[in-house]
Amino acid sequence: MSKTNAVRATLYFDGACPVCSREVAMYRRGPGAEQLGWVDLSRCETADLGPGLSREAALGRLHLRLADGRLLSGAAAFTALWTLLPRWAWLGRLLAPAPVQSVLEAGYRAFLRLRRLWRRPVES
């Protein structure tokens, strides 16, 4: 990332999850990705997590730290991420309303139960 670009948000993702890592790779190839920080939890140092985020919590679900320091997780993190990426901004706006967020969060929780089945173990 260029030193002249300010990071608008930082995404914390599980690089040991094949589905998660493929999805994040897709986002990182698109426009706007250079303005985000990307932290692979399977390879990062504890200091990379920042305040208020433990490795256990971070590995439990997707987290996004906004430039103002607020930490979002789950469906809220996804919709905020999408609004920051030009190709996905329409989806972020479409799914942002509270009633839709509730349904999206329920779907994300179901995905998290399945994710445990295919997550690769992280070597220490």
What are the pLDDT digits (tens) for 5-59?
Answer: 578 999 999 998 888 899 999 999 999 999 999 999 999 999 999 999 999 999 9
What are the pLDDT digits (tens) for 60-114?
Answer: 999 999 999 999 999 999 999 999 999 999 999 999 999 999 999 999 999 888 8
* pTM for the predicted model, two decimal places: 0.85
pLDDT value, residue 97: 95
Q: Name residues whose C-beta falls within 8 Å of residue 106's C-beta, 6 or more positions apart in sequence.
A: none
Query: Cα separations (Å) of 32 from 79, 85, 87?
Result: 15, 5, 9
pLDDT exceeds cutoff 50 at 2: no
For residue 69, the one-letter residue type is G
**What is d(CA 103, CA 25) in angstroms, rounded to the nearest whole number?**
25
Q: Name residues whose C-beta falls within 8 Å of residue 60's C-beta, 6 or more positions apart in sequence.
A: 112
- pLDDT confidence tier of residue 4, bands split at 50, 70 and 90: very low
pLDDT, mean over the chain? 90
For residue 109, the SS3 value is helix
pLDDT exceeds cutoff 60 at 116: yes
**DSSP code of residue 35:** G
Q: Are 15 and 43 in contact (CB under 8 A)?
A: yes
